[in-house]
Structure 1
């Protein structure tokens, strides 16, 4: 039997026997990404799970219906733009962050930081935005294949929010058929976030 066939047969045998060969796809694969037990602390851009325990995963159509009927709190956890190093230091830098209309942009708030000050600042800001209502629908999003909104959704579930929605398609998924708006970073979050956390 040629080696490639032998290898394929071995993988198939292990898979059928419940062996580890196909138990989990590698980290650089979009297939079967497992939910971490805690917050994700690796790079923010990368393949994410298709689920978020305790939250509902929604697509753009479902988000549009929710936005039209229930006034959810829309939280954008997309990262702040960084001035390209190739630009001259004195060159004008005026990035424009596009988001879902009505969203609150909290750059850096989707980090998997274990810092208690970070967690406290996050909890307090979201509580203020939600009016202290744990039953208000809250939607987290950023960009496709971005862990920031997944982490934020996980934090919200742990904080007791009962209607957490994760929109993994992000701004790009929304703007495929709908308008976006230019938004500025939430000034209260910018002041409340610990100074050593990237915005």
Structure 2
């Protein structure tokens, strides 16, 4: 699970090689139902793609790749879906009501090999001596956090910008509720609450996410708050995981890492063109 501990565990990855450098002969690891599976050969992955078990939005990783990424991003795997209805270079899109974030001031080139993002990824992944837990955090929300999350992945700024640049479909949630936010983020402060996975907050969040994703539990969901010392997005991610979502990405670095990378934020409440007003507020 060392890589699954990421960005959603792809949280600002360690500097390595570009995705295109992953050789077809390398075994791949796959996130299946929130757990890491593999290693799989190309023949095994082809069989999974034919059966529908491997989607272009499924998170995969192999030696030589900078971070976990959606399978449709990997050149070595794109041929697996040529016989399907969805072209390999056009991953399935979310409903029109789904905001896909296109942050301003993001680099026009791929972040792979970017020393600034690589160094930031190391900070976002650093071990603070806090064990991962599958229980909602009920203590102070400001403090050291684990560097992994059971059933989800840690995603770094590098991993997030890669998703943005490839225009992959996903939903981004602001669990902090401050005066500024990442462009396109959906306010979801209520999802940070402590409690239990049987409480009213959980029920309301389940209804909200079902409507937002049209019941597609493999929709990539990205949750962030302030920084690596903020538990709010960890709780929100755990709630989504316990609702059965299989591509939950915990952006551990949060808004502080985003700004440290030189990317812009927008005033809270400001929507992008075409974005529908929506937010999750637990009662």
Among 78, 94, 101, the alignment partner of 2:176 is 78
Q: Distance in 1 between matches of 2:135 and 2:251?
A: 19
Check conservation: 2:132, 2:148, Cα contact below 8 A: yes
**Which entry has the higher C-alpha Rg, 1 or 2?**
1
**Aligned residue runs from structure 1 range 24-103, under 5 A:** 31-69=128-166, 70-79=168-177, 97-103=179-185
Counterpart CA distance in 2 for 1:118 and 1:109 is 7
Q: Which residue of 1 aligns with 2:259?
A: 175
Secondary structure of the residue aligned to 2:236 is helix
Match of 2:238 in 1: 154
CA contact under 8 A between 2:192 and 2:235: conserved in structure 1? yes
**Partner of 1:150: helix, strand, or coil?**
helix
Whether contact under 8 Å (1:140, 1:153) holds in the other structure is yes
Q: Deviations along 1:92-138, whole A, 9 cap, x unmatched?
A: xxxxx211111101123211123621111111112222232111111
Q: After superposition, what is the alpha-carbon deviation per residue over 1:129-163, rounded to whole angstroms, capped at 9, x for unaligned?
A: 22321111110101111111001111111111111
Q: Report the equivalent of 1:91.
A: none
- After TM superposition, the score normalised by the length of structure 1 is 0.67
Correspondent of 1:126 among 191, 194, 209: 209
Structure 2 SS opposite 1:42:
coil
The normalised TM-score by structure 2 is 0.48
Structure 1: gaps (5+ residues): 1-29, 81-96, 195-199
